[in-house]
Chains A and B, each alone.
Chain A
Amino acid sequence: MLTVDKLNKTYKTGDKALTDVSFTVPKGQVVGLIGPSGAGKSTLIRCINRLVEPTSGSVRLNDTEISRLSVGELRRARRRIGMIFQEYALVERLTVMENVLSGRLGYVPFWRSFLRKFPGDDIAKAYRLLDRVGLMAHADKRADALSGGQRQRVGIARALEQDPELMLIDEPTASLDPKTSRQIMRLLVEICAESSLPAIINIHDVVLAQQFTDRIIGLQAGQVVFDGSPNELTEAVLTQIYGEEDWTAMRRGAAEDAEAEAEAHRETEKLMSAL
């Protein structure tokens, strides 16, 4: 369980990114964090594992008060928080396997990671995860040889390799096409359900958020302005978060995307059965 209490972040430049943000995420819940660009979504999830230092407030994961840890303790806490990034953030010149194994860096001593001599269990786990995300055959390829969707799958495997107790997911679909986005979101939600992991998914695609998450938190200028189930996210609420816009048109567009995807799927199946 993750508890965020009265979190504030003011940048050195004086920009107030977060104001009194509080919420609790129970085990197994997938939370979609929505809001316009600059609302503080990225800052918020980075304050949770302290890639960005919060100015005040507390973050508690299970029994650990993350906001008060020393450097060494923070490293140990970070390894229990899996993070997935917008532009995948894989180390491009390392192999897929090395990228996945880098999820174990917080657990192994330097010499093991330097010589790439990870414990057998870690390697087996990495293979199992690669199999789970459908990239078994690509283990020894360099990360920059993969497509966007494949890279994001490696990112997911790397986060899971950490044995996380919490997933922080920063715009997982921002660089992906609509179809791949849906596949990635589905995979994320499935995986979180499999190990009842709590997750915070920072996402700007409202429709995807509504479709795949259990709960939505709306952030506007660093403040929580909405916290509820995806059905409660009415047009009035969206306007409050993002400002005036034609929301029905956007939903229609997304419905078309979903329809097109289903259509393509049917076509493929027809083609396959014809063969």
Chain B
Amino acid sequence: MTYTWDFHSVWQYYDLFLWGLWISVVYTFGSIFFGIVIGLATCAARLSSWKVLNAIARVYQEIFRCTPLLVQLLWFYYAFPLLVGGSIDNRVAALLTLSLYVGAFYAEIFRGGIVSIDRGQHEAASAIGMSPAQSMRRIILPQALKRVLPSFINQSVIQFKNTSLVSVISVADLAYMAAVVNGQTYRPLESYTLMAGLYIAMLLPLTQAADWIERRLRVSD
């Protein structure tokens, strides 16, 4: 089979691709930001001795870790508005779902990092008169964050890819735009290959940076 590649006709829509890419980046960083906030709060709840808080955090985490992101997006966009009455903007639904989804995973990563720090560290901090908050902030967290950085970056890379699912609720991200261009040009091979190339171009530097950071952290230990 001989196929004549024609990226030219697809590239005419470069502004759609770039705009879609920008939207993907915005949803990625937006959901990472809110995800960190949600993740830290959930992590604190999981580590607290207050049982009710603990249980709520656990239920939240399991719901979001044990259902597919696609299902969550559909539920928040189509089902949630019926439950509360009214409607929800598809962009709000997308950001909310992405944030809650990644927050559940971040919480587990943060918690794992904190409990992996030797008890003796907290004891040593306490022994020089530090309060539990001082010990957490100055001794436990810096060590825990360093330890979880590789998993955190890894989860964030996955998050970037996951944003492509928001196209199913018509958020005009990169995947959505690629489909639009395909509809215009009838060039699926070029449209979708270009989309894949753009994802790689965004994520390859990130994964390389993650490897580099991981190597550097190991040296200073």
Do A and B share a complex? Answer: no
Interface residues of B (CB under 8 A from A): none
